[in-house]
Structure formats: structure tokens, C-alpha cells
Amino acid sequence: MMQMLAKAKFSSFGLTVPSDWKQPSGDPAGKQYVDSFPPAERTVPPDVAVPPLFLPASLNKYHVDTQKLLNQKFGAYIDGVCSAICSAWSTWQSSAAMTGIMVNAVTASVGQVIGPPWTPLILASAPMATPMELMYSTTVATAVGMGWLSYTATIKIPGLPFYPAFAAFPGPFAPPMPNIPIPVIALTQVTATVGKGYLKTQMVGMLGQPMAPYHKELFESIAEAFETCFLLWQATTMTTNVLGMGPIPTFVPPFVPVGPVVGGMANMLPGGFV
């Protein structure tokens, strides 16, 4: 999904190659240009890639050849770097957990998300076959990794009813019990650092190469595709396996046979975001 979204966004820029090219016209320039190529090279079919990341400035064979080459190279790069991001995301999700959650009666609050950093995970499989790919991939991995780390540091549980049974538990201590699953979007969080605008700005700044070919379009495409996938993930991923426990200080049988958990704690098992 991220690959398709990124390529669709890149295609929307309508980039032509070579850029700013205009066919010579008039005499003698126009005639010389036409006579410079055999009939078979003057008009050839353009690349049929869907979506076309680049458009030929004309149907001249050499322009179309350039279009085909760039479609192939940029298409393969976008597929590779998006695949690397998604692989890192999957690895993080399978091992991420939450700690330091406070439990009082039915309510869970605060907590901290912990998980492996994304940057080395992305770099482990991102395209790096050429110096340009290495430079782009390092920039993307660093920006997305730092953005995700900043985002997850803001995730907290805003006093949600995770444990209905803890309102009146029949015992001196409530044993570990899983929470009622809730979507990630219900948690307190600040998402600015995983937004497309922030990520693109970070990537452009980190790259620091104003003349790098098509870097702004590439970074905007990756950032927008990532944000779209994130918004879907945020709404559909559930927070599960948060095991809560705690004492019931008011439990005094037979006079008070049940009571609420007070000063309890909870921790999410690794892989609880599903």
C-alpha cells in the first residue's frame, strides 16, 4: 500500500525528462533537429509504466529511453525504501511494549511505550546500491526513525476503563488480568513528527543537497504515503495484553467481601499492538 501511494503521489508531479526542453522550431534549427534522427527514432511509444513516474518531453527515442530508465530506477527505489520502512514497522510492532502504567479501580493511566529504534532497522534493507541511493536512504531512515521515536514517546493512556473487574474484586490482591482492547487512536498522543509536512522538511534539511535530482518530490511522496498508512494503522491497531494487577486494601471479609484495586500497576506484553 505504501509503495502504491508513494508512486501515485510522485506521478502527480507530472515531471518531464529532460526538463525545460523545447523542440527547436523554424529554419534552420527546426529542420536540422528533424533531420538529425532517422524516422524510426523521431516518434516511439512512451513507457507504459502505471503510474508513470516521469513523462517524456517528446516522443523522440532518446527522451523516451530516459523516461523508461528513470521510471525503472525511481520506481525500484520507492518500492525498496517503502518495503524497508514497513519491515521496520513490523519488527517494532512485534516487540513493542508499554510499562509504568498506573491502575486504580477500573482505570489505567499514563505509561510509556518502548520498542526498538527504526533507523537501523530501515537501513538494514533499504536500497544502497549507488552513492545516491545510500544518501537518500540514510536521510529517509533517519527522518522517519527520529519522527517515530518522538511520536511514541508521547503515547500515554488517558485514564481509560481497562479493567471492569477491578471495580469490585473479591480478594486481597487482583492477579494479572488483560485489559479490554482499545484502538491506538484512543490513547493520548502527539502525531506532528510523523506528519507528511514535518517529515518532508526534515528529509530535505538532513539531505542538504539542493541540486540532488528530484529529492523534494521523492521525499514528499514517501512522507505522504507514510502518513496515510500511519493514520490507517492508528485507527485499526488495537492495544491489547496490558496485564493489570494490584491490591485491594478495603478487602476485609466477611464485612467487606469485595473492593476496588488501589495503587495497582500494569505492563503490556511485547507485541501487544495488534
Residues 229-249 have pLDDT tens digits of 999 999 999 999 999 999 999
Residue 66 pLDDT exceeds 80: yes
Under the banding of pLDDT at 50, 70 and 90, the label for residue 168 is very high
3-state SS class at 60: coil
Looking at residues 32-52, what average pLDDT do you find? Answer: 83
Give residue 241's region: left, alpha or beta (phi > 0; psi -120 to 50).
left
Report pLDDT digits (tens) over 99-113: 999 999 999 999 999
Domain-wise residue ranges, the chain: 2-268
Position 20 scores a pLDDT of: 79
> What mean pLDDT do residues 116-123 have?
98
Residue whose entry in the numeric block shows the C-alpha cell 478487602:
251
Average pLDDT, stretch 103-126?
A: 98
Q: Is the pLDDT of residue 127 over 90?
A: yes
Whether residue 180 has pLDDT greater than 70: yes
In order, the DSSP letters of 21-42 are: -----STTHHHHHHHTS-HHHH
H or E element in which residue 150 lies: helix 131-152
| The pLDDT of residue 37 | 76
Q: What confidence score (pLDDT) does residue 48 get? A: 87
Give the three cell numbers for residue 148: 517515530
The predicted pLDDT at position 29 comes to 64
Q: Confidence band (pLDDT; 50, 70, 90) for 6? A: very high
Q: What are the residues whose beta carbons fall under 8 Å from the beta carbon of 34, sequence distance 6 or more?
A: 42
Write down the mean pLDDT value for the chain: 95
23-32: long-range pairs with CB below 8 Å, 24+: 23/58
**CA-closest candidate to residue 74, choices 27, 120, 26, 136:** 136
The C-alpha cell that represents 25 in the structure block: 522550431
For the chain, give percent helix, strand, coil, nearest 5: 45, 20, 35
**What's the Cα-to-Cα distance from 207 to each of 143, 149, 196, 220, rounded to whole Å?**
10, 20, 16, 13
Q: What is the pLDDT of residue 43?
A: 86
- pLDDT band, residue 166 (cuts 50/70/90): very high
